[in-house]
Amino acid sequence: GQQVMQIPQYQHVQEGEDFTTYCNSSTTLSNIQWYKQRPGGHPVFLIQLVKSGEVKKQKRLTFQFGEAKKNSSLHITATQTTDVGTYFCAGRDTSGTYKYIFGTGTRLKVLA
Amino acid sequence: EPEVTQTPSHQVTQMGQEVILRCVPISNHLYFYWYRQILGQKVEFLVSFYNNEISEKSEIFDDQFSVERPDGSNFTLKIRSTKLEDSAMYFCASHYGGALGGELFFGEGSRLTVL
């Protein structure tokens, strides 16, 4: 079945440093979403990417969808302590399903 | 802002007991989901539900699991005979649907502890 992997599994950064998490799917995706889960919280939607090669920005966050629509990345510029949490990508394959398979997640810690 | 609500927030049960977790999705949403998350691990898909029937289910969603939308507002997950490995956080989610999918709105979760 469809598998979605993320690297790295953990990342510790100093406040102000940049951070990137990478997401790779075993199957071609129709779209991909990104979620943030704070410690003890539930996943909260950040963004959805649909088009091949699409790049979207939200303030310090930049999201990219690969040309082949099998990978994606999230880059945070100048991390802040409020960025702490686990970032998950979630992909929907091209079969027409409405099932989103979540990636393995990247847990970000920001040291002040 | 509309939200997905889940009850109970925490349930402790003995192995072999039945458990029902309840969710009220956002009222105009059409697709409903249950996901689970074992502590510190990824969010795993269990089942999706649309038009009053299961759309898809994962390998985890075996005969011990069932879902129901009994009254047009509640969406329940039942585990008939709980096992120790069922201990996890269970998240309900919903979205409106449409060709591009759309944002999944998650509830705050129900933590299930099986002793």
Give per-residue pLDDT as tens, B57-114.
Answer: 999 999 999 999 988 789 999 999 999 999 999 999 999 877 677 899 999 999 999 9
**B56: CB partners within 8 A, 6+ apart:** A97, A98, A99, B47, B48
CB contact under 8 A, B106 and A44: yes
Bond prior to B25 in cis (omega within 30° of 0): no
Is B102's CB within 8 Å of A48's CB? yes
CB neighbourhood size of A27 (10 A):
16
> Which among A31, A33, A42 has CB closest to B91?
A42
Give the C-alpha separation, A103 to B32, whole Å.
20
Is the CB of A98 less than 8 angstroms away from the CB of B44? no
- What's the number of CA atoms in the CB half-sphere (13 Å) around residue A89? 31
> What would the two tokens of residue A58 be?
């939200």
Q: What is the largest CA-CA distance in chain B?
A: 43
Count CB-CB contacts under 10 A for residue B7: 14
**pLDDT for residue A110 is more than 90:** yes
Structure tokens at B40: 């510190």
A87-102 average pLDDT score: 90
